[in-house]
A = this chain, B = another copy of it.
């Protein structure tokens, strides 16, 4: 089992650590809250990475297009004026590192967890929805005058038995 307070602490530790050591940036943490709704973005970048194992969930990081370019500049030492593939890769890599470090800390409580590949979405107006989860734990951060939001949801994995599954397996056996 893992408590919400521990998830909050581990995400903050992982985020502060990655921003500081990998990007040379200090981030400030604001109070977190629980949110039933999913992240919507009006003009920015949203990165997701899946967590899977005995507990399943996802981590998500959202920020403005401008701050995504700053992350890229800090990580890859290349200037980007607009969101391009390099910027999306940089945000994906930072997401991978933060949620990967969070995962390592959470594994002390939950046992081994797997991390999927990160997916980064960029657009001017899109909504997202993640199903089958409890509330998101939302942790706002500030860095260099910009807002960043990190979200995690994590719950014991359902034993996914699908109607089609048994049939399919038996038809291939």
Contacts and interface: CB of A to CB of B under 8 A. Distances in A.
The prevalent SS among residues of A at the interface is mixed
A129 B123 CA distance: 12
A116 interface: yes
A49 B49 CA distance: 9
A130 B114 contact: no
B153 A117 contact: yes
Contact of A132 (B17, B117, B124, B130): B117
11 contacts: A13-B168, A17-B164, A17-B167, A22-B162, A51-B52, A52-B116, A97-B164, A117-B153, A119-B129, A120-B129, A126-B126
B130 A168 contact: no
Indicate the size class of the contact surface on chain A: 35 or more
Contact of A18 (B22, B56, B105, B164): B164
